[in-house]
Amino acid sequence: MNTDIVIARLDNGVVALNNRCPHRSAQLHLGWNRGDCVQCPYHGWKWGENGKCMGIPAAPDGPIPPNAKATSYDCEERYGLIWVRLDGAADTEIPGHIVYDDPTFKSVHGPSYDWKTHAARRVENYTDLAHFPFVHPETLGRAGEVTFLTPNIDFRQEGRMRFRYDPPKGARRAMDAKGGLSALAFTDYTIRLPFGVTLDLNLEDGTRTVMWMWATPLDDIHCRSFWFACRNSDQDGPDQPHMDQQMVILEEDVDIVESQDPEQIPHPRDEIAVGPDKVSLTYRRLLYELCKAKADGPGALKTYLNKERENI
């Protein structure tokens, strides 16, 4: 979100500070982690927890000016990632995950990747079913097997949108042919507002793979996607084949998504939709509502995110 952040694992935990030193605006990430503080590379001012100034080498006898405070953000480590809350007033929570802490699953992180698209376009691409036969004719779909799906969308809790994908015969055959997921039972998608997706792939033999992705807006037209996969099978096998499969799919998507012009989701009159675009249309509506709630203040935002909703 156009905010440069320096993140340091200090002795007492992780801190997230704005990357700009309040003294003469050098970038803090070029400095040093001193255990109890981040030390600026330029004149060595020390910045500790909550942005507190812990020392000024050129003026060791003080006093430290009262306004010598670095901008700091709430942050927390979860799912092997550092989560930073830029808007401290929002009181938002890190979304839960259905199996990350379940010992019967193995969780593996993939490398994050940056795309030239808005985070909302990234989420739409991740949850788009109609592109499978065209963009992923040998991985997720099958060329010529166009399916018309209008999934049921339900909202059970906490600003989530959830739908299920029962793969058509064509998709199953394509997977059969590759000796792969021949008995794919169903896939549950959950969109966690605003930019998170969990995809729960179930096989009939009870094995599951839960993919998790969060698209973080770098600015209005770029996003960085973080992701990991949890699987309850092949725990002792190598992770790389599982990751490689995902990388192939991402490679198939990136050029098409980056070709979307504009990068941001435009006004509704500027794109055309049909029935099976229901997922994207619903998601857009929820984003719109979320923006409205945000404009109404932190309380309204939290209420919106936690609202119980059904059958929308």
The residue type found at 197 is: V
Question: x/- string (CB under 6 A) for ligand FES, residues 1-40?
Answer: --------------------x-xx-x-------------x
Query: Measured from the CB atom, is 51 or 194 closer to ligand FES?
Result: 51
Query: Measured from the CB atom, is 59 or 274 closer to ligand FES?
Result: 59
Half-sphere exposure of 240 (CA within 13 A, CB side): 1
In terms of DSSP H, where are the helices of the chain? 119-126, 132-135, 169-177, 240-259, 278-295, 298-306
Radius of gyration of the chain (CA): 22
Q: Are 141 and 174 in contact (CB under 8 A)?
A: yes
DSSP assignment string, 219-246: SSS-EEEEEEEEESS-SSS-SHHHHHHH
Residues that bind Co ion (CB under 5 A): 253
Shortest Cβ distance from residue 284 to Co ion (Å)?
18
Shortest Cβ distance from residue 12 to ligand FES (Å)?
22
Binding site partner of 26, from Co ion, ligand FES, none, Cβ cut-off 5-8 A by kind: ligand FES
The two three-digit tokens of residue 15, written as one number = 């801190």
Tokens 């340091």 label which residue? 8
Binding site partner of 253, from Co ion, ligand FES, none, Cβ cut-off 5-8 A by kind: Co ion
Query: Measured from the CB atom, is 253 or 263 closer to Co ion?
Result: 253
Q: How many chain residues are in contact with ligand FES, going by CB under 6 A?
A: 9
Under the binding rule (CB under 6 A), the answer on residue 45 touching ligand FES is yes
Residues lying near ligand FES in the complex (CB under 6 A): 21, 23-24, 26, 40, 42-45
